[in-house]
Amino acid sequence: MKYYILIVACCFINIVHSQNCDSRFYGEVHDFHDGSPIIAATIYIETLDKYTTTDIDGKFSIANLCDGELIVSVSHLGCETKRLEIQISGDSFYVINLEHHIEELNEVKVEGKTITKLTKTSQETLLKTDAIERFSAFSLGDALKQISGVSSINTGNLIVKPVINGLHSSRIIVMTNGVRLQDQEWGIEHAPNIDLNTVGSVNVIKGADALAYGGDAIGGVIILQPSNVSLKDSLYGKTIISGHTNGRGFSLNSSLTKTYKKGWYLGAQATMKRFGDFETPDYNLTNTGLNAKGFSIKSGYKTFERGFNFYYSYLNNEIAILKSSHIGNIEDLVNAINSQQPLVVEDFSYNIEAPRQDVTHQIIKADFYKRFKKFGRLQIQYDFQNNQRFEYDIRVGDDKDKPAIDLTLKTHTIRTNLKVDSKSDRIYKFGLNVGYQNNFANPETGIRRLIPDYDKYDAGAFAISDFRLSDKTNLNFGLRYDFSRIEAKKFYLTSRWEERNYDVDFSNIVIDDLGSQLLTNPVFDYHNISASAGIAYKINDNDSFMFNYGLSNRAPNPSELFSDGLHHSAARIELGDLRMKQETSNRISGTYKYNRNALSINLEAFYNLINDYIFIEPTGTELTIRGAFPVWSYNQTNASLLGLDVTANYKFNEHWSLNNKSSFIKGRDLTKKQALIDMPSFKTVNILGYSNKKWLQLNTELQSELVFRQNEFPDNNFNVYIPTIDSEVLLDISSPPPTYHLLHFQSDITLNLSKQTNLNIGLNITNIFNTSYREYLNRLRFFADDLGRNIMLQVKFNY
Amino acid sequence: MKTLKNNLKSTFLILLSTFILTGCSKDDNPAVIIQEEVITTLTATLVPVGGGTTITFKSLDLDGKDGPNPPVITVSGDLLADTTYNGSMEILNETESPAEDVTEEIKTLDEEHQFFFQATNSLATFTYVDFDSDSNPLGLEFTLTTSATPSSGAIIITLRHEPNKSASGVSDGDIANAGGETDVQATFPVTIK
């Protein structure tokens, strides 16, 4: 019986054995993909200092060996030389399949972390484990802000949604462990349900070029991958504990993984976070705590040729929302904006009271893959996600403890991917996916549903080809088609139905008339075609550039279609529109990379023309028996986004370095000829770093973050009649807050406790000077300042 | 490896069938949500002390707080200067038939409710006549005394649910620190002659 040993990073071995001491070690070295013999691969037995190379047929032989364990290293041009332990007993014939494609080996590795980019021609950034672990106590959105061109749109400091080149929510696909996250991502106050502690690396691809993940990622794709599983008999894990002064919080995460040389593995991970009220330099942010709990388990069998994985994750976030942001009617909003002080400031507390969110997300995933010699790799995956979202508003009377929103979103997806990579210069990827999604809005809330019950069906197919024309030129083409159908059952107030003129355009979808309410059955089909083309060209070792075009379409989400009433937690009336069309994005981008000795520069420019761009903006007030409420409506326009992201790094010497990340974006509403709402302002971050391996691997960083005032914004201000003072008052809902500058400090040292264990101690200070500021893209900026200083001590124990 | 493959195959089949089954179920219509504690109508009846024309203020919003239609405000006539009116309040939910009298519920849960009265241009002053079981003001019964000089402006009547009645000024009718949730806020244009 054959058994498999897998080598490090580059190589793959197949062994047959027999018995004796006058042994001969012989065999052949083949290319895994096309089976051709590999010439001049080096076989080196370290323990005996003997080596040989393969001949023109890929054959090799070393005679006069004793039985026992040998340490052999196998290398070939383009592969890293790595060590391999093998058992020799008697004449042993080995077929060694060398693997040229380093990225293929991400799935199976003995040691080391060869995390690579997923695309060759796209604007892609990779965050490795170290960069993620710093944010163990924070959210995905916080961690991604390290990338030039990625910002966030927040509701307070705990609900952080990533913004890629000015676009967010439904325009960004989040893939976690191969699963497309479906967690009601449409709302600004719906943060991605991700525990960063389950993540080993993050790839961020700007724009819709990564068609394998979906065709509607007009903003970009965020790919979260778990840490690689090593193929050796091993038990390892890590624990990260952190304490924070601001919010008096702590975070604890621990993971343990057991692996076997034959390919089996089993791992588990758990996280707990607890924060109380956060504080600004001047006051407590009453009711801003967090209680998060999560765990995940994974198991499976992985070899280079075949394997399967099983994954389950559970995450519960209970998030308090600033009490002062709960407003009654528009008079409270005017008072809040004009007073510039939160209306409620109480003593510090860990209590999480209304308004609050309680969101639980569960993922079950199973996948199977098989690699065929001289052909490629086939993968089949099924995943199920259950998202349970409760939003509690301040309610009175018998409803006090009832949620205002109670939604259960269930999503099933089956996807298959086929990668044909027998020719390394021509790689084809094909994929199919089908999905079913059901949303259930629990009527027990006693509040009319903002998002209705619906069923959604999706099917998609794509083909992508990667061509390597030469060592210098890579080409990429992709084409994708997606179909989606949404079937909703939605109640409308008759008065709203008529006010929106739906009685004229949609009279055929009314299925029941209850007098003051109508039950309707909207069914919408969307056909989306997306395409991408990219070229990467390396001028020389120092300079390279990439050029890309992406076409993508996005169907309107349920919130954009169906919202039709008072959103209690936001105290605003939100109005969607059944007439919403798909958005179409045409994005071109160019990247230039410069790399000479100590200096490296990465320039990423893009122009994104989006037809029928959907956005929400304040449009006035509606008077009700409870007073006037602000109205926010979803509208469509033609928009253009133009931007430049800069990353530059200069190394003075082996210790000192200077890094700059800047991003500039300009968003225009082409129809109204004015600025787009909610565009990130110009931001530049400078980092002075010092590291010294001799001083307990010390790393320190002083970071300066300068965020300019957004001077380009649409003026949606309007006058509001305030009855108690009998006059009209300007509601300044548009003006962005002023420029701010923050300084942060970061440092860590690593103590090696033994060969296998080490202890990393980090001290981070954010907002060192306790500066008061407000951020344009924080929805709570109307009500309170942003966070003051935080000192965090983090201890990371690897074992 | 064979058994493993078979196991996988059957697992996928089971998953697939779950998927298809859940996909085809449910043709029922969702339950309609009739909002509880809806208030559509506030009527304040003002009877002048010593006789004269009774004046009514009415705010009627049949599509409630989610509906686009604004409340219909009616004021039956002008108020007389330097006159005291005895006021009484009626709160209805007219989305039900017959209309539900919410006034009774407010009476029963009097500690949880309070009306607030405001007037622009010092048109009028107000006093509470009825009190809850903790002797804090309620406001279903009140008096309104108009100013001595003719003028015009607005009278604002607000009903708060679960106000903090012990907060500073609240028992004197100052809404500023009352908190709670606004059930009704209506602005009536008035002329005093």
A330, A514, A625, A726: which to substitute to probe chain B, counting the most B Cβ within 10 Å? A625
Q: What angle do CA A752, A755, A761 make, to 5 degrees?
A: 25
Averaged pLDDT for residues A147-159: 94
Chain B CB within 8 Å of residue A353 CB: no
Tokens representing residue A558 in the block: 């349920």
Q: Which amino acid is at A586?
A: N
What pLDDT, in 10s, does the model give residues A606-633?
Answer: 999 999 999 999 998 888 888 888 899 9
Q: Are strands A220-225 and A172-176 parallel, antiparallel or unpaired?
A: parallel
Between A635 and A723, the higher pLDDT residue: A635
For position A641, what pLDDT does the model report?
A: 97
- At B11, is the pLDDT very low, low, confident or very high (cuts 50, 70, 90)? low
A281 in helix, strand or coil?
Answer: coil
Mean pLDDT of B106-115: 92
pLDDT, tens only, A725-754: 778 899 899 999 999 999 999 999 999 999
**Local confidence band at A59 (pLDDT 50, 70, 90 cut-offs):** confident
Judged on CB neighbours under 10 Å (0-12, 13-18, 19+), A373 is middle
State residue A5's pLDDT score. 36
Cβ neighbours of B23 in A, within 8 Å:
412, 436, 455, 457
pLDDT grade for A6, boundaries at 50, 70 and 90: very low
Strands in A172-176's sheet, in edge-to-edge order, are A124-127, A201-206, A220-225, A172-176, A179-180
Nearest to A773 by CA among A681, A695, A697: A681
pLDDT band with cut points at 50, 70 and 90 for residue A33: low
| C-alpha neighbours within 13 Å on the C-beta side of residue A355 | 21
Whether A448 and B66 lie within 8 Å, measured CB to CB: yes
Place of tokens 């405001």: B118
Task: Indicate whether A29 pLDDT > 70.
Answer: yes
Closest listed residue to residue A169, CA positions, set A196, A204, A145, A141: A141
Instruction: Judge contact between A669 and A635, C-beta under 8 A.
Output: no
Distance from CA of A723 to the nearest CA of B (A): 6
Task: Tell me the average pLDDT of chain A.
Answer: 89
Please, which pLDDT band fits residue A594 given cuts at 50, 70 and 90?
very high
pTM for the model? 0.86
Residues of A in contact with B187 (CB under 8 A): 723
Question: Band of the pLDDT at A642, cuts 50, 70, 90?
Answer: very high
Cβ pair A496:B68 closer than 8 A: yes
Q: Among all chains, which residue has been given the structure tokens 């200092």?
A: A49
Query: Is B19 within 8 Å of A448 when comparing Cβ atoms?
Result: no
Dist CA B36 CA A478 (whole Å): 53
Q: Say yes or no to pLDDT of A16 above 50.
A: no
A160 or A79, which is more confident: A160
Give the whole-angstrom CA distance, residue A128 versus residue A118.
13
Q: Which pLDDT band holds residue A79 (cuts at 50, 70, 90)? A: low
Contact assessment for residue A573 and residue A565, using Cβ atoms and an 8 Å cutoff: yes
Q: Is the pLDDT of residue A106 over 90?
A: no
Coil/strand/helix, residue B8? helix
Quote the strand ranges of B49-150, DSSP E. 55-60, 72-75, 84-93, 100-101, 113-119, 124-128, 141-146
Query: Smallest CA–CA separation between A724 and chain B, in Å?
Result: 7
Average pLDDT over residues A269-295: 97
Give the pLDDT of residue A83.
62
Q: Is A565 on the interface with B (CB under 8 A)?
A: yes
What does DSSP say about strands B100-101 and B84-93: parallel, antiparallel, or unpaired?
Answer: antiparallel
Q: Say which residue, A135 or B17, is predicted with more confidence.
A: A135
Inter-chain residue contact A726 with B26, CB threshold 8 Å: no
Is residue A380 within 8 Å of A321, Cβ to Cβ? no
Tens of pLDDT, residue by residue over A533-560, are 999 999 998 999 999 999 999 999 999 9
**CA distance, residue A277 to nearest chain B CA (Å):** 21
> In the predicted model, is pLDDT for residue A564 greater than 70?
yes
Q: How confident is the model at residue B27 (pLDDT cuts 50, 70, 90)?
A: low
Interface of B with A in 32-71 (CB under 8 A): 32-33, 35-37, 39-40, 42, 59, 61-71
DSSP state of A37: B
Query: Of A356, A387, A353, A362, which is closest to residue A186 (Cα–Cα)?
Result: A387
Which pLDDT tens digit goes with each residue over A372-387? 988 999 999 999 999 9
Half-sphere exposure of A485 (CA within 13 A, CB side): 8
Tokens standing for residue A280: 């600004």
Contacts of B28 (CB under 8 A, 6+ apart): none
Q: How far is B51 from chain A (nearest CA, A)?
A: 30
Nearest residue in chain A measured CA to CA from B20? A436
Determine which of B4, B9, B12, B32 to mutate to test the interface with A (most A C-beta atoms within 10 Å): B32
Tell me the nearest-neighbour CA distance from A577 into chain B, angstroms: 14
Tokens, residue A594: 């410069």
A651-710 pLDDT, tens digit per residue, is: 999 999 999 999 999 999 999 999 999 999 999 999 999 999 999 999 999 999 999 999
Residues of B (126-185) whose Cβ lies below 8 Å from A? 153-154, 156, 161-162, 175, 180-185
What pLDDT, on the 0 to 100 scale, is given for residue A70? 80
Q: In percent, how much of chain B has pLDDT > 90? A: 59
- Report the percent of chain A where pLDDT is more than 70: 94
Q: Which residue of A has its CA nearest to B119?
A: A724
Residue-wise DSSP of B13-68: HHHHHHHHHHHH---PPPPP---TT---EEEEEEEETTS---EEEEEE-TTTTTSS
ipTM: 0.81
Which of B65, B95, B118 faces A516 most closely, judged by CB atoms?
Answer: B95
Q: Nearest-CA distance from B154 to chain A in Å? A: 7
User: Is the per-residue pLDDT at A102 higher than 80?
Assistant: no
CA distance A478 to A120: 13
Mean pLDDT of all residues in A709-716: 95
The answer to whether B24 faces chain A, any CB pair under 8 Å, is no
